Each structure stands twice: as structure tokens, then as C-alpha cells.
Copies of this chain bind each other. A is one copy, B any other.
Amino acid sequence: MTSSPYPAAPINLAHKAALIDEQWSPRVVAEMNDYQFKVVRIEGEFIWHSHPETDEAFLVLEGTLRIDLPDGPVYVAPGELYVVPHGIEHRTAAEGEARLMMIEPRGILNTGHEGGDRTAVNDRWI
């Protein structure tokens, strides 16, 4: 059996999100060069953090994502994209569950350099 040099089928993002059995646990669904596409289910508030080395993109699949930023929150609805620039302190949150796709370079931790018990295991695929 030979393996194909490209995927046989597209990735359905909502289906992937539905397979994840815990919140705040990003799962990788695809890669593009040294970037990863991650799907995550969130509810409640994360911790404030930043990523000095990279911007971070969020695409909402379901629910409403609130991104707290230094001057106040931005609300992101399904089908909307928001890019948090590198170095900007932010906190993701959702009242009720939200399902998101995140895009960021491989190796970036969800808590930036804050560490702590909200830090998710990295590079888990689904």
C-alpha cells in the first residue's frame, strides 16, 4: 500500500469539534507549513495571557466567542474571524459553549508563557 502525498478528503470542522470530549482542550485537525489548525470547545473564562512571538487567529464555528482585550471585549459570531496580534494580552471566554478553530504556529501553548493548570497538552490530534 502506498500513501497519498495529499489528504483523501476535506476536514469537516463541526464534526471534529463534536468528537472532542472535553472543553479547553485544543485538538489539531490539519497543518499548513509550520502552522496548525486546531478545534476547541470552550465555556466560561480562560486566563489572561499573550503570545509575544506570534499572532493567533480565531474562527468561530458555533456559539459566541468573547475575546477580552486591554480596552474591552470583542464578540465573535459563527463565520467570523478575529486575529489577535502578537504581544497583545487577551482572554478568551464564552457564556454557554462556543466551538472554534484556531490557527497558530506548531508548538504554541494555549496559555502563552503563563503556564499553570489551564495549560493544555499540545499537539493532540483528532
Residue from A6, A59, A84 having most chain B Cβ neighbours under 10 A: A6
The contact of A88 among B5, B9, B31, by CB within 8 Å, is B5
Q: A12-B80, A33-B55, A37-B81 are in contact. List 7 more A-B contacts (CB 8 A).
A: A9-B74, A10-B60, A10-B75, A11-B81, A12-B79, A31-B83, A81-B101
Residue of B nearest to A72 (CB): B8
Contact B79 A55 (CB under 8 A): no
User: Which A67-126 residues sit within 8 Å CB-CB of chain B?
Assistant: 69, 71, 74-77, 79-86, 88, 101, 103, 105
Beyond A13-B80, A61-B79, A80-B12, whether A71 also contacts B32 by CB under 8 A is no
Number of copies of this protein chain within its complex:
2
- Chain B residues with CB under 8 Å of A77's CB are 10, 12
Q: A56-B32, A57-B32 are in contact. Are A6 and B88 (CB under 8 A)?
A: yes
**Smallest distance from the beta carbon of A91 to chain B beta carbons, Å?**
13
